[in-house]
Structure formats: C-alpha cells, structure tokens
C-alpha cells in the first residue's frame, strides 16, 4: 500500500505556526516515503468557518512550497457522514440523543460539583422505539451518539511517544452527528481517513484524547487503522503556550514582516526534529532527504524569534541583489517610501539597487529595508542624531566638511550638471584619501576624518560603509546635503560656541 498522509486544517483562522509545522512534517514524511499527501479542509463548523480563511491557508501553504496530491472539503461530503451514521444506528452501535443543551449543561455542572469528570450519563441510550418515535413525531431535535463499551482498554503505539493507552470508561458515549445534521470532528475524521486510505496521521499532541475515540470508530466501522504520531506543542520562550502576546503567530503575519519562505520552513523543521548531525541550516529539499518520523522529539519545542531572524538573515544574504530588489519593492511601496510609479524611475531604482548591496548584511527581515533606505531617497537630511551633533561640534569638523565639499564640487565640474551623477565606491575612496592628505599636517585622521563626512551626508554616525552611503546618494544629493550641514552648523552650533 502507498503511504498516504493528510493535512486537515479548519478554516476558522489563519495558518498558525504550530499548524504550519504539522503541514510541513506531513509533507516531508509523504515526500520522503514517496507517498501521497491529501489537503482536507475541515469546514463542517459552519458558524466559524470562512472561505477567506481557507484561501489564506491555501496561499500560505503554496508560499511555503508545500504542495498536495488530492484536495477535499468536508462540507462537500456531508451525505457520506450521514450514510455512515445511519449504518451505525441500524447496527445499534449508535443512538439518537434528545437531551437539550440546558440538560447537558446541568449534568456537567452537577458532575463538576461532585468532583467527577464530565461525561454523558447515557440518558437516551436505552430509549424504547416508542419513545424515540414519540420524540420524532413531536419534532424534537436530536444528535446521534456512539455507544462506547465499558471496561475496554484502548491501546496504540504512537510513532513519537511509544505505547499509549486509555480506559473506555473515561470517555462516555460521544456525539458523531450534531443536532444540525453536521458531523462531529471525531466522526468526520474517521470516515475521511478510512475512505481516503490514509496510512499515517501526524498531528499535534492536543489530539491525543481524540485518538482514543477515533480508534473505537475505526474498529467499529471496519476501517483500516492508520499509524499515529503526535507532535509536541510549540511554546513561547517563557515556557507558556505560544500565543499572540509572543508576537506574530501565523504564517501570514511572518510573510507580512518580511520573512522568506525557505527560512520559515527551515526553522519549522528544526522545531522538534533533527537529523542528529548538529545541522540547522538546510533547504527544504535537503530536509526531505534526511527526514524520518522516528527522528521527531516528543519534548516541547521552544519558539525563538531571534533564532528565526538569524536564520532569515542567512537566507536573505543568499539571494542575489536582483532577487532582493524584487522582494523588497512591495515593502517600500507598502511603507510609502516609494510609489508604484517610482519602480519605472531609473534614478530611484539605482538608489534602491545600491541600497540593497549596502544593507544586505544588516537585514534580518525584508521589512527592515525601508527603514534603512528611507533617508537616502530624500533630498535633505531629516535630522541629526545626538551623536552626530557631538561630531559637528568638534573643532576639526568644519574644515573636514569644507574640504569634502570642495572635492565634491571639483568632481562636479567633470560633468554637465546631469542629475544624480554616479560616484562609484573606488572614486569615493580616492576622494576621501585626498582630503586625508590635505589635512595630514593637522593630524586629522581616523574617526575625526570619516565621522564628519558621514554626518554631513546622512545626519548619523552609523550606517553602511561610507563609500557605499555616498554612492547611494549620488554626487548632486551629496553636495546638497553637505551644504545643508554646513548651514546648520553655522546657524545653530557655531553660535552656541
């Protein structure tokens, strides 16, 4: 039999990190075993399910590179579940339950009050045919419950956790068809897994108790029992369940923050799994070759966003500049650093291209890029940092900046006043060296030479290598900014002295 796996999300929200890891592990297992992967949308919760969430989940899976071989929606299979339920009614393995929600709430409250575990009391299990017919004739709503045999031990071997057992007495008769005619989660899953010939079920450990109920149904319906593997929870760095207070938790949010699909898939793979060789950075194709269900750990996984950022930075640096420009443009437009029409502007695109080269090693996420490049796309310096002002107040800064301006204006004479005249990095290095030689007698060197120049064109004391920063701005913008700085120094700083 061909190994068959399934990923079965409910479209009641976005694709959560934990659910995405489940999808990834099912995909890896299916592909590493030359098996089949089914995507099954479990949308029988009519009130909470949304086509928008389904679309979002599908798009996120495609973004992660997780394809599938077959696709189903449970909402399109309702007749099949009802047919199986009728069969169980006919075989007396299930019965109609006419209990109202109010009675069930009172039952639960009473059991909790007496220190008992909550489970159904089988109130409708032995109703006579006449009582059932009377209730039906009166139009009373009913659910269908599965009869759970008492004093049974339910045992299965979990591929991650080993032998697991449950006592049937703790379960109680459970609903398989709700009063609105839709199937319960446990019933629909079993019918689907059996009908679709699923051989392996990889899912979160929160489904462990569901597995006991499902095994009872598999056996009663005579369906092939799959292998089960239950993944550990993903916890925040504080050890609590991963939630919104820990930051982004859905794949869509990580996409919007500028994480790369390869980095996210890579990181998800090492949450509870390792090939045992100490590696942490590998492509999804490499992971597929190494992946084994037996290598999955049963210990909880800790979600470390800083490690994800570190990994994402590695993936960013592996991109070519051309690839990065395409990836960064949507973030520049979203943050209104540029307009869509600016993508046709050669001057703007040249600056972005140089910016990508300059800032590539600093990027952790793509959404960082607009912050880095923003000031370089403006005509004037928007403000001077506190440290920049300290540099401008130095006695030697004025002569350095004036000499820098002279060099720039001298360079301008070679051009015909064209806009954004290009200054390549080699030419800029020579230009700065010339200033250093001129000021050698004054012993102005090191940071006392480079810092005033940086501040005069950026307003900051930090950034990319100085030749790269100047090159991004271009000759005309540099002259404009240096003049602005000298004017600012004269007007606001020199007067203070």
Residues 26-55: tens digit of each pLDDT: 999 999 999 999 999 999 998 899 999 999
Residues 436 and 445: their CA atoms lie apart, in Å, by 7
Structure tokens at 286: 């490499």
Instruction: Give 109's pLDDT tier (boundaries 50, 70, 90).
Output: very high
pLDDT at 385 over 60: yes
Per-residue confidence (pLDDT) for residue 310, from 0 to 100: 97
Domains 244-316 and 319-377 in one fold: no
Per-residue confidence (pLDDT) for residue 494, from 0 to 100: 80
- The verdict on domain 319-377 having CATH code 1.10.8 is yes
Higher pLDDT, 414 or 327: 327
- All structural domains of the chain with their residue ranges: 244-316, 319-377, 386-493
CATH architecture group of domain 244-316: Orthogonal Bundle (1.10)
Positive or negative: CA dihedral 14, 214, 234, 202: negative
Q: Averaged over 230-254, what is the pLDDT? A: 87
CA-wise closest residue to 450 among 436, 437, 464: 436
Instruction: Give 348's pLDDT tier (boundaries 50, 70, 90).
Output: very high
pTM of the predicted model, to two decimals? Answer: 0.91
Q: Look at 147-161, 239-253, 393-407 and tell me which has the smallest mean pLDDT.
A: 239-253
- pLDDT tens digits, one per residue of 118-157: 999 999 999 999 999 999 999 999 999 999 999 999 999 9
pLDDT mean across residues, the chain = 94
Instruction: Give 367's pLDDT tier (boundaries 50, 70, 90).
Output: very high
- Assigned fold of 386-493: Arc Repressor Mutant, subunit A (1.10.10)
pLDDT at 337 over 70: yes
Residues 28 and 291: their CA atoms lie apart, in Å, by 7
């Amino acid at each position: 039999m061909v190994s068959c796996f399934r990923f079965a999300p409910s479209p009641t929200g976005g694709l959560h990190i934990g659910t995405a890891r489940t999808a990834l592990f099912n995909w890896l297992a299916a592909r590493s075993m030359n098996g089949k992967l089914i995507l099954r949308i479990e949308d029988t919760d009519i009130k909470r399910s949304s086509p928008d969430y389904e679309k979002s989940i599908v798009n996120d899976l495609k973004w992660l590179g997780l394809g599938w071989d077959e696709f189903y929606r449970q909402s399109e299979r309702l007749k099949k579940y009802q047919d199986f339920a009728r069969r169980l009614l006919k075989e007396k393995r299930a019965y109609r339950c006419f209990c109202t929600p109010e009675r069930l709430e009172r039952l639960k409250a009473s059991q909790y009050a007496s220190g008992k575990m909550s489970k159904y009391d089988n109130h409708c299990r032995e109703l006579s045919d006449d009582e059932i017919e009377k209730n039906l004739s009166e139009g009373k709503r009913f659910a269908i419950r599965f009869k759970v045999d008492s004093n049974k031990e339910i045992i299965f071997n979990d591929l991650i956790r080993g032998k697991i057992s449950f006592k049937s007495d703790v379960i109680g008769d459970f609903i398989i068809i709700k009063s609105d005619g839709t199937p319960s989660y446990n019933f629909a899953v079993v019918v689907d897994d059996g009908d679709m010939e699923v051989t392996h079920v990889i899912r979160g450990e929160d489904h462990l108790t569901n597995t006991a109920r499902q095994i009872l149904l598999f056996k009663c319906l005579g369906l092939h029992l799959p292998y089960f593997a239950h993944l550990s929870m993903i916890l925040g760095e504080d050890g609590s369940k991963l939630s919104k207070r820990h930051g982004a938790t859905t794949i869509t949010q990580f996409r919007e923050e500028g994480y790369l699909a390869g980095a996210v898939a890579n990181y998800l793979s090492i949450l509870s799994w390792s090939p045992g060789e100490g590696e942490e950075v590998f492509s999804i194709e490499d992971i597929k070759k190494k992946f084994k269900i037996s290598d999955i750990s049963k210990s909880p996984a800790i979600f470390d966003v800083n490690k994800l950022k570190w990994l994402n930075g590695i993936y960013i640096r592996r991109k070519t500049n051309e690839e990065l420009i395409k990836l960064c443009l949507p973030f520049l437009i979203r943050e209104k650093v540029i307009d869509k029409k600016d993508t046709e502007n050669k001057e703007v695109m040249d600056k972005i291209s140089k910016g990508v080269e300059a800032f590539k090693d600093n990027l952790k996420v793509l959404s960082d890029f607009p912050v880095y490049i923003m000031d370089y796309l403006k005509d004037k310096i928007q403000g001077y940092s506190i440290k920049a002002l300290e540099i401008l107040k130095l006695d030697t800064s004025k002569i350095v900046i004036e000499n820098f301006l002279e060099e720039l204006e001298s360079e301008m004479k070679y051009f015909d006043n064209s806009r954004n005249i290009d200054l390549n990095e080699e030419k800029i290095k020579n230009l700065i060296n010339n200033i250093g030689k001129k000021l050698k007698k004054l012993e102005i060197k090191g940071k006392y030479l480079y810092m005033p120049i940086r501040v005069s064109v950026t307003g900051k004391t930090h950034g990319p290598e100085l030749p790269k920063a100047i090159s991004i701005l271009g000759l005309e913008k540099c002259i404009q900014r240096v003049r602005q700085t000298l004017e600012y120094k004269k007007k606001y700083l020199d007067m203070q002295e």
